[in-house]
Structure 1
Amino acid sequence: MRQHQHQETVILLPGMVCDRASWAPVIAPLESFAEVRVADYGNEDSLAGMAESVLASAPEQFSLAGHSMGGRVAMEICRLAPERVRRLCLIATEHTPKPEGDAGIQETNARLGMLELARSRGMTAMAEGWSPNLLAENNRGDQALLDAMVRMIGRQPVARLESHIKAGEARPDSTDVLRSLSCPVMLIAGEEDTLRPASVMARMQSLIKHCQFEIIPNCGHMPMMEQPDTVGSLLQTWLTAAINPSNQRTDETA
């Protein structure tokens, strides 16, 4: 770990059945400015439990970046301890609960299908089938990228996939959290993300007082791995931007 002039800590929150490898391509640029930690949710099977586990080992104040499910965990951290979050970055995520009706049923069935495949044939087989859907079309032919994703997902226990699915099923509505944020926020979306489309994140932007929204071309649901140079540059800007201590949300709402 490098020494830092500033005692900034940034905590990176991985998505579903992801780990440090999902953030690895962008960690090095950040280490020049901050102590970088990547969270491990352990056996937690709720977003609130994951948030509490991160808070338990976090410093008094920190910057926070969350990808996909990790963005959900980040919003729960902001619900539980907003005064501890100096700045927030949400990547390829959303703020609404599981949809009702057919859309919700389809989501549940798709995730249970992933779980059944993982149980019957192993996590690597599930990862091989699922990973291409996470990438922009032009990136699906990048064998090194696909291999890295399959290795990452393949080493997760089936029980962890089950825990993450359970957490996602019960995800709360975080609209109130976004409206209450007073810290600076950056949103990053992949232009070709079919799981968490940029249009969804645009609605999130409308709820947040101090917000920068970036859409990355030729990028799907895994921006840090698909476009690491672009994401790394954005995160450096986010992490080093001055924070106005007088930033306070007004009563206006979107």
Structure 2
Amino acid sequence: MCNESVWAPVIPFIAPVAECHVVDHASANSLVQMAQQLLSNAPDRFALAGHSMGARVALEVYRQAPERVTRIALLDTGYMPLATGEAGQAEKDKRAQLLHIAQTQGVRRMASAWVQGMVHPARLSDAALIEAIVAMFERKSAAIFEAQIAALLARPDARPVLQSLNVPTLIACGDQDLWAPLAQHQAMQALAPQARLTVFADAGHMAPMEQAPAVAQALRNWLAA
């Protein structure tokens, strides 16, 4: 449900050293399809950064075409497939509840509920930031939200991809990311020990919008590695 707004605060810091393109996955309903679409429109060789679901797409891109990816950055994300048993059902239920709100009360109402746990607690009072996130979601439909939920619930196990990474790799997250916590990123680094792990202070899941200068500096360091 995110778009170029996530990266808008970061790109001005990156543009002097790299040509930047933000991918829109449209109504694709699988990570495999999203990766295929990205590859069909990308240069022959490129650096790839992804945030949240976008980082899962980035891992799928690397799975499909590792020879085309020169480096990879994975921000505020995860790597495991849907859990089995009660944990997996709890995730399905939570996503279904949000989808029901989007379908019956509108995407804006859903986003207003979703965002409460997605930024650093101190930023819940930042009206401009919260509005930017909610308005970003509101540009997408409940049908797109449903397609993206389907993609995430069917996500592949990315552990083999992490273990296979042999390009400069950045793994990063906000220190208060409750959706994709630091421990999850530390586990990712354990699978890809050559990766650099960076933690953004005073940031939640939406780190590129919450701490743009710090995120940009980490990406510039990654591009220069």
TM-score over 0.5 (shorter chain): yes
Cα distance, 1:99 vs structure 2: 1.0
Aligned residue in 1 for 2:211 = 227
Match 2:45 to one of 54, 61, 78: 61
Q: Which residue, out of 61, 69, 74, partners 2:58?
A: 74
Percent identical among aligned pairs is 39
Displacement of 1:134 in angstroms is: 0.4
Match of 2:141 in 1: 157
1:171 alignment partner, SS class: coil
CA contact (8 A) 2:107 2:137 kept: yes
Structure 1 position 210, deviation (Å) = 2.2
SS at match of 2:7: helix
Deviations 1:61-115 (A, max 9, x none): 0000001100110000000000100000000011110111111111101101111
1:213 lines up with 2:197 in the alignment = yes
- Could you tell me which residue of structure 1 aligns to residue 164 of structure 2? 180
Gaps of 5+ in 2: none
Stretches of 4+ aligned residues off by more than 4 angstroms: none
User: Does residue 137 in structure 1 map to residue 121 in structure 2?
Assistant: yes
Give the distance between the partners of 2:181 and 2:82, measured in 1 at CA. 15
SS in 1 for 2:48: strand
Q: Per the alignment, in what secondary structure is the counterpart of residue 137 of structure 2?
A: helix
Partner residue of 2:83? 99
> Match for residue 167 of structure 1?
151
Residue 67 (structure 2) aligns with: 83
What is the deviation of 1:239? 1.3
SS in 1 for 2:98: helix
Does structure 1 conserve the Cα–Cα contact (< 8 Å) formed by 2:162 and 2:191?
yes
Alpha-carbon distance in structure 2 between the residues aligned to 1:137 and 1:122:
24
- Higher relative contact order (Cα pairs below 8 Å, separated by 6+ residues): 2
Normalised by the size of structure 2, how large is the TM-score? 0.98
Tell me how far apart the structure 1 counterparts of residues 88 and 179 of structure 2 sit (CA, whole Å): 14
Alignment root-mean-square deviation, CA? 0.8
Q: Secondary structure at the match of 2:157?
A: coil
Contact 1:44 1:163 in 2 (8 A): yes
Partner amino acid, structure 2, of 1:177: V
Residue 224 of structure 2 aligns with which residue? 240
**8 Å contact kept, 2:13–2:213:** no
Q: Residues 196 and 138 of structure 1: is their aligned pair in 2 closer, same or farther, counting only changes over 3 Å?
A: same
TM-superposed deviation, 1:209: 4.1
Once the 2 structures are TM-superposed, how far is the Cα of residue 29 of structure 1 from its aligned partner?
1.1
Query: Counterpart of 2:92?
Result: 108
Aligned length: 225
d(CA) in 2 for partners of 1:145, 1:133: 14
Which string of whole-angstrom CA distances, capped at 9 and with x for unpartnered residues, describes residues 162-203 of structure 1?
010000010010110011111010011111111101100101
TM-score by length of 1: 0.87
Q: Which amino acid aligns with 1:142?
A: D
Q: Which has the larger radius of gyration?
A: 1
Q: 2: CA distance between counterparts of 1:239 and 1:160?
A: 32
In structure 2, what residue type is equivalent to 1:181?
L
2:30 to 46, 69, 75: 46
Structure 1 position 117 matched with structure 2 position 101: yes
1:244 paired residue number: none
